[in-house]
Chain A
């Protein structure tokens, strides 16, 4: 099982700043099959990024994903008030079961 470790656990920033969230895998993720989700309180998670860097439909371009192998990053430029939420990474490569990171809380 691939273990995903997200850092930091909590990130405190202000609107307009840039957020950099990390997701590190315990082994290489095949095809860089890594996704990022955003979850706000009381809401279902929302897909942001798939395949490490491909933005989902309707996701603003201030969200970007990068990385390969075992190290991946979600960058959010020019933070908007609605961006403050919990962010999860998930690997869906050939290693089963698919697994999630423990989440990074982005707070104002």
Chain B
């Protein structure tokens, strides 16, 4: 059974940092590109970041570039998102998702998210 379980969400002050994790089971993690997607309250889905199956390539939404870092540990089947210099507009539910086909970023599997609230 495929599971993607995101954790690490919390309430943090503007300018603060947070590290999200996504534990994966049920498929061969090291074969899949991985992504973070967020959904702000009452808003639509927004892609945030991606990492290649082997961790050598990373991609970011312009508004998070330089503040967020996506990484992975294939030995632990875990995806991470380090979020620094957080802003109010980063408040959202963050979910992890996987894609198998290089260059075709649609999501075969998608986990439930973890809530990040940036507020003073």
The interface of chain A, by Cβ under 8 A from chain B, is: 33, 35, 37, 42-47, 50-51, 56, 88, 90, 92, 96-103
Contacts and interface: CB of A to CB of B under 8 A. Distances in A.
Q: Which of B4, B61, B104, B109 has the most CB of A within 10 A?
A: B104
Given A44-B112, A47-B110, A88-B45, 15 more contacts: A33-B104, A42-B112, A45-B45, A47-B107, A51-B104, A88-B44, A90-B106, A90-B107, A92-B104, A97-B61, A98-B47, A98-B105, A100-B45, A101-B44, A102-B44
A98 B45 CA distance: 10
Contacts of B4: 44
Most buried by B among A42, A43, A90, A103: A90
Which residue of B47, B106, B109, B111 has the most chain A CB atoms within 10 A of its CB atom?
B106
A78 B110 CA distance: 26
Contacts of A46: 110
A88 B106 CA distance: 12
Given A90-B106, A96-B59, A44 B45 contact: no
Interface range for B: 10 to 19
A33 B106 contact: yes
A60 B46 CA distance: 27
Interface in B1-47: 4, 44-47
A88 B46 CA distance: 12
| Residue among B59, B107, B109 facing the most chain A CB atoms (10 A cut-off) | B107
Interface in B28-75: 44-47, 59, 61-62
Nearest to B96: A44
Contact of B110 (A44, A50, A98): A44
A44 B94 CA distance: 11
Contacts of B59: 96
Contacts of A92: 104-106
